[in-house]
Structure 1
Amino acid sequence: MILDWWLSPELQLRRPGAYYPEWRLDRLLKRKAEEGVRIYIQVYKEVSIGNEDIASMPLATAVSFPPRASPLTPRAQVTASMSLGSKHTKHALEDLHENIAVMRHPDHSGGELVYYFSHHEKLCVVDNKMAAMGGLDACFGRWDTRDHPLADVHPTEFQKALFPGQDYNNSRIMDFQNVEKYASNELCIQEATRMPWHDTSLTIVGPVVVDLVQHFCERWNFVKDLKYKHDHRMEYLSLPDPWHDVHSEQEAAKKEKQALFRAEHPHLSEWKDRGRRMTHPYHWPPSEEPRAQEPVACGSCRVQVVRSAADWSHGCLTENSIQQAYIELIREANHCIYIENQFSDPAVVTTTKEGGPIKNLIGAALVERVLSAAKDRRKFKIYVLIPEVPAFPGDIQASSGLKAIMEAQYRSINRGGNSIFDKIREAGHDPNEYISFWNLRSYDRINAPQGAIKKMEAASGVSFHEAQVALARLYVGEPGGDSADEDEVVYIEKPHDQTTAGDATNQKKKTAEDSVKLPRTIGDAQEIIDKFTQAAVRDDSDIPDNICQNAMESGQSSADAPWAGTEEEERNCIVTELLYIHSKLMIVDDRRVIVGSANLNDRSQNGHHDSEIAVIIEDTEMVESTMNGRKYMASKVATSWRRSLMREHLGLSIPQGPIGRNNQPTNWMRAAPVLAEYDYGSPDDLLVADPLTQDFTRLWNETAHTNRVIFDRIFRTVPNDTVRNWKSYQEFIGRNAGVKVGHVMNNDMSLAEIKRELAKIKGHVVDMPINFLIDEKWLTEGDFLSVNPITLALYI
């Protein structure tokens, strides 16, 4: 059972894909379907309309919008332009085997007319026994390691590519395009960075999985009734029974229970009569008989499912238990709150005045908790990590959508009169003593010295793009079956003179594409790759394809990283990009966790907008720790998760490259009940064990500040705290004219100096520039001005 906002059938699960072609998602699902496994998938059906379609809408819908106002929300606008390809997902998977059924919902015509909101859950349940859920979609652009590479060029070892075709993407430069053409790529990997991705999810076994199955079955049957009532492939699903209920109940007992079932769930009896019956391995009755299922591991965690659901999304009364859980956890916090959230949709944690546009009360709960700690003079810290900029293409000043999202975010944090900082200051306290906001950023070097590559092309008679398309054949597979036709043409972007004024934009200049026919077979493709790579002018095994790992504990320094080309070529290949935070996670007091698909905004939290799923975890297995220097018992799951994340952000983790050709997955890659290992008591662990000590605070703050200063100096990144209004914004980015997005902007620094400065970067955490555009009145005074007030509620 799979629920997803976006699912890419061609997603490579284990990488490099050339080493593990069998672990592509569609091929894995096909194998399981052929083994007799029934596979049920429901994906969000994206909106695909624009302003010109308003006139054709029913009157009741059209009159809700003023002239020229788009009826699309930010997420809807993104899904329309980036083409999630849900139609491709449905047909590509259903064509593999009759045991695979894929629903798309909601519809955007007829009786539903759901234009604004989406199904946003990310959930996979296997055999009603184990589940994976969280913030990570099974789609292009998400797979990453904690090194977060920005580049994927391997001139002499093409098979090491980690991000084939569409998976090499940067949404700040360009949205996904034509995702059904999954082997093509409209970003030039020789000069454009990918956007690295940071996310959090988990796997679960235990009785709580039955609740997740219930959520799936309710959604499935609801959509079945709405649009697939006469489609026999989409069968009704009964809620799962304990094994003995299916196999050993007597007729009299069944009738007696049915009356009770009707009282417990309005559709339970009906679904039992009409739907496919399934078992689950929990709630066993006392018995001496051998079980049909293997024993289920017993864990130490108490887990509760919460969700956002409503009539349009789930056929139920509005439920906003995710928001209620966040508020309760915040109010009950005693020491420390750690938050990672995408925050991009947009107006996240905020207080609100009576009648204001923002309705969720999570920001108010944060303010309330801070003021309570200040009143009691107790040490209390809140760490909030969010992306620098929403992952939409376009210049910040030119894009109304970007401005609307950033306006709501900044008004949530520190301006406008009703922000978190404003409310704390109003009560006479310094907000910086209690709550802080942070971003993540990465750097790398693209291993694409043009001189060496041109020599290889001349010597081999094979262009770099032909070799790149040959690699795509390894990714696509042999013609026929689940792969592309042998006459498929792959489009690859050529290097060009794309320049910018320092801010990402989708207005590209002098763009050109190579259209290259796929080699007929994998054998032909391998021959082309070998011909190109063997033409290398020198053995480059000593040249690292990436240097991003040096921000971690690699034992190497970017200052000393060797290079096969000229100094000018190396300078042109040093790049940076924001590290996009997509997590939806909060850890409280190192004891409780809430994690799932919900952003901290009205869309996710209010219940009747986007549909969401999350779990609250309380681990009863405790470990000895400290809090503010005093002995403290922390829960194992919560404290190890927070420590692991903070160590990654501080560069206190070893690099996590892809597994090699013959390497086996580690315990960190395996699903529950396999336990992930954590090195309690190690020197690096002790640095992050207590989030309230002065030593930790100093380490975190100084690392983030040093990293930010270096990135700003070399790359002149935007947003920037020195840019306080639109005039200074234009002046700031104007000095970067003529330089490609994400490349070195400071012409006064030598290559050696640049590499020495990069070597000082530790991890990825950076200060958030919370004073960006703070002198602009539209960000600080009056009503929200970025978009029409009628459509504002749809943005937040």
Structure 2
Amino acid sequence: VVEKIEDAVKLGKGASRIYATIELGKSTVGRTRIVDDDPVNPEWKESFHIYCAHSVSNVTINVKSDDTLGAHVIGRATIPLAKILPEKPIKETYDLFIEGNAKQRGKVKVKLQYTSVQRDPSWGSGIHGPNYQGVPFTFFPQRSGCKITLYQDAHMLPGFLPNIFLARGMLRQETRCWEDINNAISSAQHFIYIAGWSVHTQIRLVRDRNTGEGQTLGELLKKKADEGCKVLLLVWDDRTSNRGIPNLSVMGTHDEETFNYFKSTNVKCLLCPRNPDSGLSIVQGMTVGTMFSHHQKSITVDAEVSPSSPSRRIVSFIGGLDLCDGRYDDQNHSLFRTLNFVHKDDFYNGCFKGAALDYGGPREPWHDIHAKLEGPAAWDVLTNFEQRWMGQGQHGYLLDIPQIRDIITMTPITEAFDPETWNAQIFRSIDGGAVFGFPTIPEEASNMGLVTGKDQVIEKSIQHAYIHAIRRAKDFIYIENQYFLGSCASWDSMQDTGCDHLIPIELALKIARKIEAGERFTVYIVIPMWPEGLPDSLSVQPILEWQRKTMEMMYREISQALIAKGMYDVHPKDYLSFFCLGNRESKIPGEINPVRSVQEPIIGEHYRKAQENRRFMIYVHSKMMIVDDEYIILGSANINQRSMDGARDSEIAMGAYQPFHTSMDASPWGQIHGFRMSLWYEHMGILLDDFLHPNSTQCMGVVNKIGDKIWNEFISEGPDMRDLTAHLMSYPVQVWEDGSVSVKEGYPCFPDTEATVLGSRSPLPPVLTT
């Protein structure tokens, strides 16, 4: 608790905007609001609940003065860890100094207490039955009586699923995301609220070879609005695009196209810039407004309770899928064979220079994860949309929900004794510059899980949810994410890049502590081969370097734990393995013939080689973590600083579990277990008994062997090109026993490219690439 600077030497005379930060090494882990009404004796009285996983020798309190262009340090107080580690409350006054100057700059009074994670009663305990109350210190509480539908990819092929057995003799059922979204929008009567990083009016949600294609999204939304349904769109205003100048956008989000499409219609489309919080400096504000985005993806509609009831309920969708081009895909993730129908009007590849249908494939296959929420948690998604809409000053368009509560009611969708019921909790990364109604009083903000700082109010509950779930985990974790970089404070260098979030180091420490205890714990991580874009570009290469540093930091932590335990013949990859997805298709009759040649000078060599070798990565865009087959987090948030910071990209996610399917008594066999098995079947093309025990040495070994096998199929060249037998490939790096990471022998670059796998430095500022 940072409480007060005492006026010891007339501190800050003439200053007007004073705040304090809490730092662990080079990481700022807490920041107070600015006090501008008492520059001599500012008093904060703010509370922080801080997750720590840092190798440091002290805690530093910095007192700073803010001005238009930034801030400067008035003085620092250093608190040695020896004072903190006994885990008893400390309330003391510390002198403030500046390095190289022995003159006292004032005093600061603090109260703090450290609690070891191993003393936490929830450490390694899992969900532990129906009494689990959810992640503490969050804006939205956990809701019971929910129903969750989990989706892999935008579409699921009929007959794709094998028999995946669940509890009580049930089988996992096929789910089709975009068809369900289409039906939900079509059936809405009162309102349709959509928030997206990108919304493209020309996509078709339904693409069936037998029944034909459905109408475009734009046509569907205009039709519903004309029927009297209130249709509101919150689309990120990409400032690299310019109203009236088409095709200027760097990101290709179609924001201006979408805005212009709905002009003079009954659909209200609001382009939503990533406005900086008012407390930021001019330079910081320009950084937020230009470099960061609104990355949330949500749809909320009203739906029928039952065919015989006039009452309505709320249904929401969240996850990784934007309603835009290139996202529609199924479990085959075809490169060439769907270009004559399913993707004839939706050819997309964001990794090639000049990619277009006229030049032929490969298209960029898209793997993603999404969810439908029904019940009380769906209302929290609605609340998020309303807060964001009003945050743009648009109070007049929202449906007045209180006036129709006799029609739309917030009631559980499942009974407490229903074995298929869910508990769900909504999390966000967002700040007061993006929403309306955040409390500004520190005590109120703290009670709602918010952090106030330098006139900002920040919610970073997604990062906290990940940390909380990792610490509770018992046996294994399975992650799919578009990015995986972070915990720079634990890297071997470049600790000041600002990529401070703790998820990677929390995973590594979890494994290390389990090794120390003589227990098994495994982590499987699936990421794309490289982040979307030209793989040798100035924006992609530094991300790959941060990713390599993150991997190496984790493997070194595991290696040191193995050595300390005397387990010299065990490899770090027996506990942690990274994978990517890829595809290769032989040529078959009926494929489209390109009308233009990739030999044209405008086309890059990567495009030519990928077409010649009939192969390409499957782009992993998922943002999901499964813990012990009992708990799942999914949403829009990547595992990078942009998504986890709270003051960078805005994000939304959920954490959910089924109270009757936890690991309290035995291995859970609920819907989350079935979903993981379905994903593994999609990626590996097989279901094995070993997959039922993912924390075992046997299972990790089998999955690593499959990954190595498919990688070798993928890189093989020659006239006899065959379809890959599966999609899961070992990530192309060499991991050594000491935890160091290097290039795979013979493959310093990704196949068909000249882009180095390990990445390289770039003149771009790290804030852009972390």
TM-score bin, normalised by smaller chain? 0.5 to 0.7
- Structure 1 residues 635-684: Cα deviation after superposition (integer angstroms, max 9, x where no partner): 512211111111111113xxxxxxxxxxxxxxxxxxxxxxxxxxxxxxx3
1:121 and 2:296 matched: yes
Equivalent position of 1:553 in the other structure: none
What amino acid does structure 2 have at the position aligned with 1:425? S
Equivalent position of 2:733 in the other structure: 770
- Give the RMSD, CA atoms, in angstroms: 3.9
Range with bigger deviation, 129-138 or 701-710: 701-710
Q: For 1:340-739, what aligned pairs fall within 5 Å after superposition?
A: 340-343=480-483, 347=486, 351-352=490-491, 355=496, 357-394=498-535, 396=536, 399-414=537-552, 419-429=553-563, 430-447=571-588, 494-498=596-600, 504=606, 575-622=614-661, 632-634=666-668, 636-652=670-686, 684=687, 686=689, 688-714=691-717
Equivalent position of 2:389 in the other structure: 220
Check conservation: 1:367, 1:424, Cα contact below 8 A. yes
Q: 2:371 aligns with which of 184, 202, 213?
A: 202
Q: For 1:96-107, what aligned pairs fall within 5 Å after superposition?
A: 97-106=265-274
Equivalent position of 1:717 in the other structure: none
CA 1:401–1:99 in 2, change beyond 3 Å: closer, same or farther?
A: closer
Equivalent position of 2:342 in the other structure: 162
SS at match of 1:318: strand
**C-alpha separation between the residues in 2 aligned to 1:208 and 1:650?**
33
- Structure 1 residues 139-177: Cα deviation after superposition (integer angstroms, max 9, x where no partner): 1001000011101467xxx5xx10133x211111137xx
Q: What is the deviation of 1:42? A: 0.3
**C-alpha separation between the residues in 2 aligned to 1:79 and 1:428?**
52
1:147 and 2:332 matched: yes
**C-alpha separation between the residues in 2 aligned to 1:297 and 1:104?**
42
Q: What is the deviation of 1:574? A: 5.9
1:186 and 2:356 matched: yes
1:281 and 2:409 matched: yes
1:318 and 2:486 matched: no
CA 1:6–1:99 in 2, change beyond 3 Å: closer, same or farther?
A: closer
SS at match of 2:734: coil
SS at match of 2:380: helix
CA 1:615–1:153 in 2, change beyond 3 Å: closer, same or farther?
A: closer
Equivalent position of 1:92 in the other structure: 261
Check conservation: 2:391, 2:433, Cα contact below 8 A. no
Range with bigger deviation, 438-447 or 349-358: 349-358
| Runs of 5+ consecutive residues of structure 2 not aligned to the other structure | 1-192, 303-312, 439-456, 564-570, 736-740, 750-758
**C-alpha separation between the residues in 2 aligned to 1:41 and 1:351?**
41
Equivalent position of 2:762 in the other structure: 787
Q: What is the deviation of 1:194? A: 0.2
Q: What is the deviation of 1:39? A: 0.7
1:301 and 2:422 matched: yes
Check conservation: 1:350, 1:420, Cα contact below 8 A. no
Using the size of structure 1 for normalisation, the TM-score is 0.58
Equivalent position of 1:83 in the other structure: 252
Identity, in percent, stands at 25
**C-alpha separation between the residues in 2 aligned to 1:215 and 1:449?**
47
Q: What is the deviation of 1:319? A: 0.6
Q: Which one has a larger percent strand, Structure 1 or Structure 2?
A: 2
Q: What is the deviation of 1:294? A: 13
**C-alpha separation between the residues in 2 aligned to 1:142 and 1:713?**
28
**C-alpha separation between the residues in 2 aligned to 1:320 and 1:93?**
33
Check conservation: 2:277, 2:433, Cα contact below 8 A. no
Q: What is the deviation of 1:37? A: 0.9
CA 1:45–1:7 in 2, change beyond 3 Å: closer, same or farther?
A: same
What amino acid does structure 2 have at the position aligned with 1:34? D
**C-alpha separation between the residues in 1 aligned to 2:672 and 2:644?**
23
Q: What is the deviation of 1:296? A: 13
CA 1:348–1:26 in 2, change beyond 3 Å: closer, same or farther?
A: farther
SS at match of 2:290: coil
**C-alpha separation between the residues in 2 aligned to 1:164 and 1:235?**
40
* Aligned residues between the structures: 512
Check conservation: 2:375, 2:411, Cα contact below 8 A. no
Check conservation: 2:326, 2:366, Cα contact below 8 A. yes
**C-alpha separation between the residues in 2 aligned to 1:125 and 1:402?**
34
SS at match of 2:584: strand
**C-alpha separation between the residues in 2 aligned to 1:324 and 1:294?**
28
CA 1:572–1:643 in 2, change beyond 3 Å: closer, same or farther?
A: closer
What amino acid does structure 2 have at the position aligned with 1:792? P
CA 1:601–1:350 in 2, change beyond 3 Å: closer, same or farther?
A: farther
Equivalent position of 1:132 in the other structure: 317
What amino acid does structure 1 have at the position aligned with 2:391? F
**C-alpha separation between the residues in 1 aligned to 2:261 and 2:276?**
22
Check conservation: 1:131, 1:204, Cα contact below 8 A. yes
SS at match of 1:150: coil
**C-alpha separation between the residues in 1 aligned to 2:209 and 2:602?**
33
CA 1:766–1:294 in 2, change beyond 3 Å: closer, same or farther?
A: closer
Check conservation: 1:347, 1:405, Cα contact below 8 A. no
Equivalent position of 1:56 in the other structure: none
What amino acid does structure 2 have at the position aligned with 1:147? N
**C-alpha separation between the residues in 1 aligned to 2:615 and 2:417?**
44
CA 1:25–1:501 in 2, change beyond 3 Å: closer, same or farther?
A: closer
CA 1:502–1:439 in 2, change beyond 3 Å: closer, same or farther?
A: farther
CA 1:503–1:689 in 2, change beyond 3 Å: closer, same or farther?
A: farther
**C-alpha separation between the residues in 1 aligned to 2:611 and 2:399?**
59
CA 1:635–1:591 in 2, change beyond 3 Å: closer, same or farther?
A: farther
**C-alpha separation between the residues in 2 aligned to 1:295 and 1:33?**
34
Equivalent position of 2:198 in the other structure: 6
CA 1:576–1:687 in 2, change beyond 3 Å: closer, same or farther?
A: same
Q: What is the deviation of 1:341? A: 0.2
Range with bigger deviation, 302-311 or 358-367: 358-367
- Structure 1 residues 738-759: Cα deviation after superposition (integer angstroms, max 9, x where no partner): xxxxxxxx3xxx43xx33xx4x
1:329 and 2:469 matched: yes
**C-alpha separation between the residues in 2 aligned to 1:794 and 1:420?**
23
- Structure 1 residues 312-356: Cα deviation after superposition (integer angstroms, max 9, x where no partner): 322541010000000010011100100000007x65898458655
Q: What is the deviation of 1:17? A: 7.6
1:235 and 2:392 matched: no
CA 1:500–1:636 in 2, change beyond 3 Å: closer, same or farther?
A: farther
Check conservation: 1:171, 1:195, Cα contact below 8 A. yes
Check conservation: 1:442, 1:764, Cα contact below 8 A. yes
Q: What is the deviation of 1:712? A: 1.3
Equivalent position of 1:54 in the other structure: none
- Structure 1 residues 230-255: Cα deviation after superposition (integer angstroms, max 9, x where no partner): xxxx7253774495xx56xxxxxxxx
Q: What is the deviation of 1:795? A: 1.4
Check conservation: 1:153, 1:448, Cα contact below 8 A. no
**C-alpha separation between the residues in 2 aligned to 1:442 and 1:601?**
26
Equivalent position of 2:351 in the other structure: 172
